[in-house]
Amino acid sequence: MYPEKPFVLFGTGSSDIVYARQGSVAKKVQSIFPSRCHLFRVPIRFHDSGMQHKNKLCRARGVVFTLLGAACAYLMNRRILYVYENGIGAINLPYRASAVGLEHSRSVHPLTLLRVGDVVSELLGEEFRMQNPFLFWTKAEMCKALAKDARNDLPPLTMSCDSPHRQQPVQCGYCSSCLLRRQALAAIGIEDKTRYVVLHGNRPVGDSSLNLCHMLVQVNTLRHLLSILDEPSFQWEALTREFPVLDDIVDRSAAAENILPADMQGRLIQLYRTYVSEWDVVESLIAEGLLNKHGDQQALGRCWVTAQQG
């Protein structure tokens, strides 16, 4: 989008596997945009880590990554860190009313980025901002550039899986992050050459359709809310009654996004409208990938019933 600009890519983490993948992705990006992209990384290592108590939730992990990225930007004499995440994943609305949110990452949520920016600004004694340029884009919209340039060789290099497997294939294909990845590539009509456990490995133990069911519940809820009349104000009222956090996002971050609150409401409505329309096109295709070769119709049926009951 900006051929005249150089980009500094920043990576971190404690996993050697992820660290190696960051390097291979960056190398490929650098070959496409020579002399425009530079990778800097700060590996996280622990002395005698086997002796330390482990917090399995890792709720603050994403914030640690953002803070390290901010330090890198500051050392590069910049006062802004760009975090590239689609709006669906960044806001990460709960799938259903009973969800308590423990498995929903908030590390690049608009309000989190505002708060982390405030912390960094306080530490530096000058304004520092975190910005997500793709807050109002779906993942499929972000991937359209891949389809335009016929670069279906790039997605398999990347990792989206929440719970990667130790054996091949590594990515499960049925966690919410894998499903959003598959949905995005299918929605733009690009061949997904990524190998997934659910499609190319041994069938996982347990119900691999559960995350899809939860996602379909949310899609069905959004579809219903956005079908209420054709007036944006009524649609926004319906959305915020179900998801109050959307009002908080607009109230607290419209100024940071440099847009009027009413315009931000409209862009968020369009974000979820686009997301629902994408699922309308690819829902059956993604669901089919979660069935065994004999056609587990009962698992698929549970998704439809659950979504209809909302």
Q: Tokens 């860190």 correspond to what residue?
A: 81
Taking alpha carbons only, the member of 44, 11, 4 closest to residue 26 is 11
Find out whether 177 and 211 touch, Cβ atoms under 8 Å: no
Alpha-carbon distance of 255 to 170, in angstroms, equals: 41
- pLDDT cut 90: percent of the chain above it: 64
Each residue's pLDDT tens digit, 101-124: 445 678 999 999 999 999 999 999
Each residue's pLDDT tens digit, 64-75: 999 999 999 999
Find out whether 263 and 206 touch, Cβ atoms under 8 Å: no
* pLDDT for 167: 80
| Surface-to-core class of residue 209, CB atoms within 10 Å of its CB (0-12 exposed, 13-18 middle, 19+ buried) | buried
Q: Examine the pLDDT at 3 and tell me if it is beyond 90.
A: no
Which residue segments constitute the domains of the chain, with CATH numbers given? 7-131 (3.40.50.620), 158-310 (no CATH)
Which of 131-145, 158-172, 219-233 is predicted least confidently?
158-172
- What's the pTM value of the predicted model, to 2 decimals? 0.89
**C-alpha 164: how far from chain center:** 16
User: What's the mean pLDDT when you consider all of the chain?
Assistant: 87
* pLDDT for 295: 43
Each residue's pLDDT tens digit, 274-304: 999 999 999 999 998 675 444 444 544 555 5
DSSP three-state, residue 109: coil
> What's at 96, amino acid-wise?
R
CA distances from 64 to 50, 131, 240 (A): 21, 16, 30
Label residues 132-144 b or e (16+ Cβ within 10 Å = b).
bebbbbbbbbbbb
Alpha-carbon distance of 30 to 135, in angstroms, equals: 25
pLDDT mean over 24-42: 92
Token pair listed for 169 = 């294939």
Q: How many CB atoms lie within 10 A of CB 26?
A: 18
